[in-house]
Structure formats: C-alpha cells, structure tokens
Amino acid sequence: MKALTYIALGVIGLATIAAVNPAPTTRIEFDALESYPEGITFDKVANVYYVSSARLGNIGTVTPTGVYSVLHADTTLKSTYGLKIHPDGKHLFACVSDANYSKYTHPLTRMKMARLIAVDLKTGKKTMDTDLSRLIPGKHFANDLAFDAQNNAYVTDSFAGAIYKVSPDGKATVFAKDELFKTAGTGLNGIVFHPDGYLIVDNSAKGQLFKVDLKNPKNVSRIVTGQYFTGADGLLLTDKNTLTMVVNGGIDKIFQLSSTDNWQSAKVSASTLVTDRFTYPATATQNGKNIWVMNAQFNQLLDSNSVPVKTFAIQQVNYIPVK
C-alpha cells in the first residue's frame, strides 16, 4: 500500500513538474551536419523551407517533415545569412559574408566580404552575384535583405552601418548610411519593407529599431519602443501594424510589436516564453497563419569544447499576449 502511495505521489510529482516546465513549441527537426543555418524563408509553392548556412555557406531545403537537401553549395560563399524569395517566385536571394563562423574563412575575405547572390529555384544554379564590399571602405557583413514593390533589394551591412540598394538589373549603390546606425560590433541586422513606402531595420548592438524613408533615405528616425532589444536579429512584417522581432544573445525570445502611429513608435503586444527554449533564434518566416523561426545554435560555435551540431530545428512561434 505504501509502495502504491509512493508511486502515486511520484506520478503527481511528475505531472506537477510537467505543468511547471511545459514542453517547447512544435519543431521541425532536420539533420544538416555543421551547417548552422541562420536565414530561413518559406516557399508556399514548393512547400519547403529554404535555409542558409553560417558555417558552410550552403543553401538548403527543408520539407515540413524534416528532410534536408542541398540546393546550392559553393565554398567560396564562406557563409550565407539572410534569405528572401524574389517577387518573381523563381529565384532565391541570399546575403553572403565571411563575418565570423565560416569553416572556409580566409584572411582575404574575413570581415571584408559582402555579396548578394541569386539562385534559380529549379536548377539550384547561381544566376547573379553582386559585390557590395567596394561601395564603402572598411569591414563588411552583408546580413539580411528585403524587396520593395519595384523589386529593388535592400541589404543591411552590420559592420559598415549601411543599407545597400540593388536594382533589378543588379546595379548596387549605397542607399542609406546614418549616424544613428553607428555602433561597435554587429549593428544593422534585420530589415523589412513597409508598403507605405519605408524600411524598418533593427540594430543588434543598440537594441533599437529605425524607420528609413524610401524616397528620402536621409530621413532616418528611431522608432520609440520604450525598451531596448539587445541581440535583435530577424524581422518579419505580418501586417502593416504588426512586426515580429527575433532576439538572441542569451535572451532567445520572439517579440511581437504593434504600432498605431505609422511606426513612429511601437510597443510589445506579445512574446514567447522562456520555457519555449529557443536556441539562438535568428530569423523568422511565415507559413500560412503560423510563424516559424530558425534556431541557429550559434552558442555552440562560441564553445571551443562543443562538437559540431548535426540536428537543427525550425520552431513554431506561440505568442502570449502582454498585459
């Protein structure tokens, strides 16, 4: 009788622990040894996720059931980061750099490379390769990109503190470089196009958001948020007034920000829980009504004693409203 009591108490105890420590949200796990994917974007036509690789430079596909395959491989790419499908639906654009984690890093490219490439989604072959590093002297880190309504691409350079513009014919120019962008380390990062005619970008080191006018890129203003988001990374605009922000660097949470004044200011309207256990989340994409985030696991790369990670996870966001 006592043994049954102990067993019952044990079951109750386990149930209590489970209630206190709920399981993380749904994950799509896939094996891609040592790839450390950073960028992600969903292709609703092909029903696959495209993921980049900060370690190997590969660009791969992941099915909803977790099957990974390489779409494009080229060691000269060093590292690939932000990904976006071109509005034509036929090409995938990727930011290419040698900023920190590449297995193929080289003194000639380390913190000097900044490229924007396009890959044909059917063949996996590279169709465009634009060098951005010559536009501004100094260190470079092409990190993320967004397209406007005219199919121009805008690329953040986290080290140069600049946003580049690449026209549909591949011509690259410096679009915006402002005092507000300046910072040590990784600065400008995530970027989205707002259909009302401006860009929203975040700054990882400052933990701030900025609004950049497309017609007058010298018109840069800080979006008042009432708090800092140090480690801010990928951004995703789900509607005109709602923005998803991925934050890593130990915080490892996803925030939903809302604005009622055309992004002069914004406030946190929802966030994920610590118990969701994101592992260095980097970027986000939308599949139907659901938001999915790439867990880059860069924390493993900072540990010299860790072995290369084989299994990675795309994790669903479950927002909890902030009261």
Give the start-to-end residue ranges of the domains of the chain.
29-321
Cα distance between residue 206 and residue 190, in whole Å? 13
Q: How confident is the model at residue 22 (pLDDT cuts 50, 70, 90)?
A: low
The DSSP-derived string for 57-114 is --EEEE-TT--EEEEE--GGG-EEEEEEE-TTSSEEEEEEE-SS--TT--TTTTTT-E
Class of domain 29-321: mainly beta
**Range in 21-30, 200-209, 292-301 the model is least confident about:** 21-30
Which residues, 6+ apart, have CB-to-CB distance to 217 below 8 Å?
163, 175, 176
Structure confidence by residue, pLDDT tens digits, 58-105: 999 999 999 999 999 999 999 999 999 999 999 999 999 999 999 999
- φ/ψ bin of 55: left (φ > 0), alpha (ψ from -120 to 50), beta (otherwise): alpha
**Range in 9-23, 130-144, 166-180 the model is least confident about:** 9-23
Structure confidence by residue, pLDDT tens digits, 232-282: 999 999 999 999 999 999 999 999 999 999 999 999 999 999 999 999 999
pTM: 0.92
Q: CA 148, 154, 157: angle at the middle one, nearest 5?
A: 160
- Strand-pairing partners, residue 192, are 200
Cα distance between residue 240 and residue 260, in whole Å? 10
